[in-house]
Amino acid sequence: MTGVLAVGVFAHGVACLVSLATVTVIPSAFSMDDFLTGAASGIGFGFGMILYLGGMLRSSSTIVAPLGAVLMVVIPVGYASLLDGVPSILVVVGVALAVLGLVLITKGVGVVGRIRPGLLWGTGAGVSYGLGLSILMETEGASGSWPGTAQRLVACLVAVALTLSRRKVLVPQIGTRIWAVLSGVCGAAASLTYILAVQDNPLPAAVTGAMFPAVSVALGRVVFGDEVRRSQGLGLVLTLTGVGAVVAG
């Protein structure tokens, strides 16, 4: 768990700095309401990352990843539906296909591992991320990068507090530092683009924003030559079809 907490501190810290730097590039009018909204989202992201990675260590990706992925879709989509009104049949079908696709994609190979810890930690991670993503829909477009900066700042502080409470070191091992930094850079970009997307059209953004497991599988195949089972290939097709249906609806 030491490595997980330290990586979380580093990644969120870098993401905060990168997001803050973009304030000078992207038109960003500071609003205390939007800044606090981003900060509230950061609580979800801070606990979400720790719970997700902690669940992987204690159980198995075959349990944690599908459960977390589904909740990360269902919660924001449900909230977006409240904002946009009752979704069309095409949107509902699209969400169902996307969720099914995510389950197939993240259903890994090998031994499942300990079920109970995976269910608990996966649920915690999914709910935390889902709420964190949903809250961002309340921000205004003029705020630009400020909500993302606040989000990552608070997420970093959450990781620091958890690390210190367990009397662990705040700096990850040398071999993992560069990856933690890169994770932070990508995290800042992800937060910014997601915020801009949900401000424009919440429902399609909520669905497509939760599709990162599909991207992970595709990159694993292309970059690392990972084996992709038929069920995962079917999951990719269902996910893309579902996203297309949501956007079209």
> Domain residues for 76?
2-83+110-202
At residue 127, the pLDDT reads: 94
pLDDT tens-digit series, residues 207-216? 777 776 667 6
Q: How many domains does the chain have?
A: 1
pLDDT score of 58: 80
Instruction: Tell me, yes or no, whether 135 lies in a domain.
Output: yes
Low-confidence ranges of the chain (pLDDT < 70): 1-2, 60-62, 106-113, 212-214, 216-217, 219-221, 223-228, 247, 249
For residue 104, what are its two tokens?
């197939």
pLDDT of residue 72: 82
249 within a domain of the structure (yes/no): no
Question: Would 211 be classed as within a structural domain?
Answer: no
- What lies within 8 Å, CB to CB, of 137 at 6+ separation is 76, 79, 80, 83, 198, 199, 202, 206
8 Å CB contact between 212 and 40:
no
Question: Does any domain span residue 36?
Answer: yes
29 in any annotated domain:
yes
Is 118 among the domain residues? yes
**Which pLDDT score, from 0 to 100, does residue 132 have?**
92
pLDDT of residue 226: 60
In this prediction the pTM is: 0.78
Does a structural domain hold residue 134? yes
pLDDT at 113: 54
Interhelix angle 230-248/89-106, nearest 10 degrees: 160
Residue 244 lies in a domain: no
Check residue 154 and give its pLDDT. Answer: 95
